[in-house]
Amino acid sequence: DVQLVESGGYLVHPGGSLRLSCAASGFIFSIHEMNWVRQAPGKGLEWISYISSSGNTIYYADSVKGRFTISRDNAKNSLYLQMNSLRGEDTAVYYCARVHYYNSSASFDYWGQGTLVTVSS
Amino acid sequence: DIQMTQSPSSLSASVGDRVTITCRTSQSISSHLNWYQQKPGKAPKLLIYAASSLQSGVPSRFSGSGSGTDFTLAICSLQPEDSATYYCQQSYTTPRTFGQGTKLEIK
């Protein structure tokens, strides 16, 4: 079965850093594009970052550009999100999500259970 | 960025009813539109991809339609387990924006 398991969420002070991980299993991780999506408490879903299967193509939402870095290690079947200069508005549950293609149309077919990041003094 | 407008923001319906949720985009996205269901404390679940294709394992009472800028998620014969928040998402371009969500309550 496909599994995505996030970890690394924690309480951190404003201005601090955190690294999230997403461990993948049950599929060939190295051929799938991946994303991070977050959800602030009581709010909707916000896409924040994308990485291609090779890691050569990366995109960020404006809200995190210059502060967050997405990466992957295909040998370890793992996806990462390095978060620096954290702000209160970064408080959210962070999900990793796998990309599925159908006729060139992309969707997120598998999601992890999420990891909570709280930014507070 | 492509703006997504879902309506209604919430609705209440009874078991056995048919409901529709609409999603309008600020520019044409062809059929690059997905629908997700999210229950409290859980990760989102893909229901419909490419506007009208049913994800494997999703009950056939869920259906999607539309193209261009106007899309609809329909749920017929509502069941108690359909109580959830539903989100549309465009995959035409980056950022992959989501609608604000529609909270469905089963009376």
Question: What would the two tokens of residue B39 be?
Answer: 């229950």
Question: What would the two tokens of residue B37 be?
Answer: 């269901």
* Contact with chain B for residue A106, Cβ under 8 A: yes
CA distances for B26 relative to B49, B54, B91, angstroms: 19, 24, 13
**Quick one: pLDDT at residue A76?**
98
Condensed to tens digits (0 to 9), the pLDDT of residues A71-103 reads 999 999 999 999 999 999 999 999 999 999 998
Condensed to tens digits (0 to 9), the pLDDT of residues A18-72 reads 999 999 999 999 999 999 999 999 999 999 999 999 999 999 999 999 999 999 9
**Quick one: pLDDT at residue A36?**
98
* Contact with chain A for residue B43, Cβ under 8 A: yes
Q: Name which of B87, B102, B86, B99 is nearest B26 in CA terms.
A: B99
CA distances for B49 relative to A12, A99, B42, B77, B89, angstroms: 36, 11, 20, 21, 9
What distance in Å separates the CA atoms of residue B13 and residue B22, rounded to the nearest whole number? 16
Q: Which residue of B has its CA nearest to A37?
A: B96
**Quick one: pLDDT at residue A78?**
98
Q: Which residue of B has its CA nearest to A62?
A: B95
Give chain B positions within 8 Å (CB) of A116: none
Judge contact between A116 and A11, C-beta under 8 A.
no
Q: How confident is the model at residue B72 (pLDDT cuts 50, 70, 90)?
A: very high
Judge contact between B8 and B24, C-beta under 8 A.
no
Q: How confident is the model at residue A111 (pLDDT cuts 50, 70, 90)?
A: very high
Question: What would the two tokens of residue A53 be?
Answer: 């299967």
